[in-house]
Amino acid sequence: MLGKYTRSVRRLAKFATPLALAAMIASCGENGSGSQVVVPAPLPSTTSTSTPTPTATSVSYNVDRCFTQAIQGENGATLTSILIPDTLKVDLTRTSHYPNGRDPDDQVIDILLATLLLDMTVTGQGPNTLAGVPLNPPTNDKPFSVTFPFFAPPNGAPQIASGTGSGFNFRNDPDSGYVSVDRMGNPAVATALIGSSMKLAFNDDTPTGDVTNQKYLAEYKNELHKLFDLIGDDLENLQLKICATKS
The pLDDT tens digits for 35-54 are: 454 555 565 555 556 666 65
The answer to whether the beta carbons of residues 44 and 227 sit under 8 Å apart is no
What pLDDT does residue 48 have?
54
The answer to whether the beta carbons of residues 13 and 42 sit under 8 Å apart is no
Q: Which phi and psi (to 5°) does residue 185 adopt?
A: -85, -115
At 100-112, the pLDDT tens digits run: 998 888 889 999 9
DSSP for residue 219: H
Predicted TM-score (pTM) of this structure: 0.67
Query: How far, in Å, CA of 12 to CA of 42, rounded?
Result: 16
The answer to whether the beta carbons of residues 209 and 215 sit under 8 Å apart is yes
At 132-183, the pLDDT tens digits run: 877 777 788 889 998 888 888 888 887 766 666 566 676 787 877 777 777 8
- Does 14 score more than 70 pLDDT? no
- What integer is the mean pLDDT of 87-103? 89
Contact residues for 245 (Cβ-Cβ < 8 A; gap 6+): 61, 62, 65
Contact residues for 137 (Cβ-Cβ < 8 A; gap 6+): none
Query: How far, in Å, CA of 87 to CA of 150, rounded?
Result: 20
Q: Taking the C-alpha atoms of 166, 169, 174 and 180 in order, what is their torsion angle to the nearest 10 degrees?
A: 50
- Does 213 score more than 60 pLDDT? yes
- What integer is the mean pLDDT of 192-216? 90
Query: How far, in Å, CA of 71 to CA of 31, rounded?
Result: 93
DSSP for residue 8: H
CA distances from 140 to 128, 135, 144, 155 (A): 18, 14, 8, 12
Buried b (16+ CB within 10 A) or exposed e, 79-96: bebbbbbbeeeeeeeeee
